[in-house]
Amino acid sequence: MEQTTPKQLNILLLLYRFRFLNRIQIQKLLNHKDPRRINTWLKDLTTRNIIGRKYSTKLLANTKPAIYHLATKSRAILLIQPNINEKLLKRVYREKTRSDKLINHCLLVADLYFLLDKQAQTNKTKLHFYTKTDLVSHYYLPYKRPDAYIAIESKQQTKRYFLEITDEGTPRFMIRSKINQYIEYFQANTWQDRTDHLNPTMLFVCPEELTKIFLNKYILQMQEEEPEIDLEFFLTTQNQINSNQADLWERVED
């Protein structure tokens, strides 16, 4: 079996959790100050086909950092680590062929983690962030797991959230279906019965403003039809995230 350093193993575990990360994100997640050292670890892992690398040589795209994912030889290394799902590791054979839509989706999850972590540090709270991969064994969650489960812990209370990212070009019937899934899930009291916590607040990231307007209107309609459901929704757009706006989330209300 291939050998890795502890830091390289950390990189593999991060890629297992987030699936796709660029070099800058990996450096931030490792809290490491030296990009040259990060590049050395990544180059070694790539050369040995433990991880894969996506990098465009096109004029505008080549200013973007390379994107990394697990490759075939990572499977044997990760299988002996605790809390690793063997079935999920089968995807390492196909990660190099994944669509740009999925890759950008995963990168956005990591960017949201950084934003939330920064806010938590500013507010002197503690952030707990669980990706879709982290949630795979939580069978009481909706069948299609949220992109992340988030808990923000302060001395007074812990606030809990489900994060959903809607990709560009997603048909509106699929967006409606996702909202309906959560309403049905919380109607069944599955979360409260299994966790003894109040329902998490829903955070939805929209690709642009038109989708946000549509989603806001549809959620209000569903809340009128199902007034007994105690569920809050907050919306934002990818542009708002990219511009690092202070007031990132807007509550759905009349």
Average pLDDT over residues 112-126: 94
Domains (range + CATH), the chain: 6-98 (1.10.10.10), 104-251 (3.40.1350)
Cα angle for residues 54, 132, 191 (degrees, 5° grid): 170
Residue 58: the pLDDT is 58
- Asked if the model's pLDDT at residue 56 lies above 90, the reply is no
User: Contact 164/178 with Cβ under 8 angstroms?
Assistant: yes
- Asked if the model's pLDDT at residue 61 lies above 70, the reply is no
> Sorting pLDDT into bands at 50, 70 and 90, what band is 59?
very low
- Each residue's pLDDT tens digit, 2-11: 889 999 999 9
HSE-up of residue 95 (Cα within 13 Å, Cβ side): 29
The SS3 call for residue 118 is helix
Residue 1: the pLDDT is 67
- Number of helical (H) and strand (E) elements in the chain, helices listed first: 10, 9
> Sorting pLDDT into bands at 50, 70 and 90, what band is 223?
confident
Closest CA to 41 of 14, 6, 73: 6
